[in-house]
Structure 1
Amino acid sequence: MIHYAAIGDSLTSGIGDLFGGGFVPKYSRFIQDTLHSQVVYEKMGVSGARSARILSMVNYDHSVRSILRVADIITITAGGNDLLDAAKAFSYQRDPDVFKQALATSIQNISSVLSVIRQLKSGSKPYLIRMVDLYNPSPSFPESDYWITRFNSRLESFENWNLKVAKVFAAFQGNESELLWLDRFHPNSRGYRVIAEALHKQGYKPLG
């Protein structure tokens, strides 16, 4: 049996996929078909959560920590709400420093999340971590591509032998009308399928 723990923001919750549950159950089916083992998943997504909230969850929520300890596969979605807050602030202040600060803070928090997970998993059986990079829901906003690309580049710097980043930015670019939900921010069912496929493409080493 494979234990899969999904932690993060509204993307992990599956907001926008009314009947399909988002990428988590879709990715679970890929895992099951590839590793030929039953998958049990836990969704720990908090809509609107910034990276600081996710760090707090892995630090202080005992149920979250217990689930992560036994997980064979962990997915993380984080950082989107930090940059969204910065975009809102920028629309009033027109100060690019709000993006710089949001980028620095979110990457530091994600780094800390990964450190806590490694501590929880110390000495445990093989496991893998998958993160999801950010797509751009507002390509008409001039600064958005630049800062999202910078964020994604920093996210990729965390990659190692058991941690890979599912790259969805390019898949969504130019296809927003087909892949985004009615709110023009969250993915629809097709969009979440794209995320699940991107996670699947990163393989399953060291599990198989």
Structure 2
Amino acid sequence: MRPLYVAIGDSLTVGIGSTFFQPNFVKLYHRDLEAYYRTQIEQRVYAKNGATTEGIRHILAQPEVAEAVANASFITLTGGGNDFLKAGRKWMRTGDSSPIIEAAEQSMIHFDQMIRFIDSFHANNPNPFIVRVLNLYNPLFYIPNTNHWLEEYNKQLNDLERYPFVRVADIYRAFSGHEPQLLSFDRIHPNPIGYRVMAQVTAHLGLSFQ
């Protein structure tokens, strides 16, 4: 039976912003796993463009997804960007930053619930597994205060590493200062080079079960 890689998340897992001929994050990370283990690895993607962390949590709770996750050796999670974009629009309209603070808090709650789901799914599976959570880069880097909010949020996201099987990929730092070169024409999603950077940073955390 081949090892299984399950990718869960939002448009970054879908690969919005890449082109038909260029691989996205999931394909690139999958390649890295197969190259490292020198074997074929099955891949399943459960993702929805525009999904918030609450929506991703609902995806994860679906029986088919839960079963796949329970059998997966490798899991990646993307999310949070849509929570912030929705809250950011309200902030830009009203000047009230409370929606952003609330979005950060809710997103953290949902991520913690997702990791606990994954942990419980694996309770009856003795095989080792790893989870890689990708933190958030800032597509609105040119707007004052947005970097501060994302840095605070990403700092909290690192707390998920209290679970021994979780590592958080610092996509924010990799993109910081290079956003114009790494974002696609919509100025929100990564371009093929951006997706390659995401995969490299995630793989650099380690592909083994150590």
Query: Does TM, normalized by the shorter one, top 0.5?
Result: yes
Q: Which residue in the other structure is 2:154 paired with?
A: 152
Q: What residue identity is the alignment partner of 2:60?
A: V
> Does the CA-based 8 Å contact 2:10-2:48 persist in structure 1?
yes
Displacement after TM superposition at 1:121 (Å): 0.9
Output the CA distance in 2 between the equivalents of 1:96 and 1:77: 24
> Does the CA-based 8 Å contact 1:162-1:205 persist in structure 2?
no
TM superposition score normalised by structure 2: 0.94
1:180 matched to 2:188? The reply is no
Output the CA distance in 1 between the equivalents of 2:192 and 2:107: 27
Output the CA distance in 2 between the equivalents of 1:45 and 1:158: 21
- Structure 1 counterpart of 2:37, from 31, 35, 38: 35
Q: Which runs of 5+ in 1 are unaligned?
A: none
Which residues in structure 2 correspond to 1:93-132 (within 5 Å)? 93-124=94-125, 125-132=127-134
Which residues in structure 2 correspond to 1:1-208 (within 5 Å)? 1-19=2-20, 20-59=22-61, 61-124=62-125, 125-159=127-161, 160-206=163-209
Q: What residue identity is the alignment partner of 1:23?
A: F
Output the CA distance in 2 between the equivalents of 1:199 and 1:172: 13
Displacement after TM superposition at 1:72 (Å): 0.5
Q: Which runs of 5+ in 2 are unaligned?
A: none
2:160 aligned counterpart, secondary structure:
coil
Identity %: 32
Q: What residue identity is the alignment partner of 2:88?
A: A
Displacement after TM superposition at 1:123 (Å): 2.8
Output one character per residue of 1:146-188: Cα deviation in whole Å (capped at 9) or x when no partner.
1111111111111142110111112211211211100001001
Output one character per residue of 1:33-63: Cα deviation in whole Å (capped at 9) or x when no partner.
112221111111100000100111122x122
Q: CA RMSD in A?
A: 1.2
TM superposition score normalised by structure 1: 0.95
> Does the CA-based 8 Å contact 2:46-2:59 persist in structure 1?
no
> Does the CA-based 8 Å contact 1:13-1:21 persist in structure 2?
no
Runs of 4+ in structure 1 over 6 Å off: none
Q: What residue identity is the alignment partner of 2:78?
A: T
| Count of residues paired in the alignment | 206
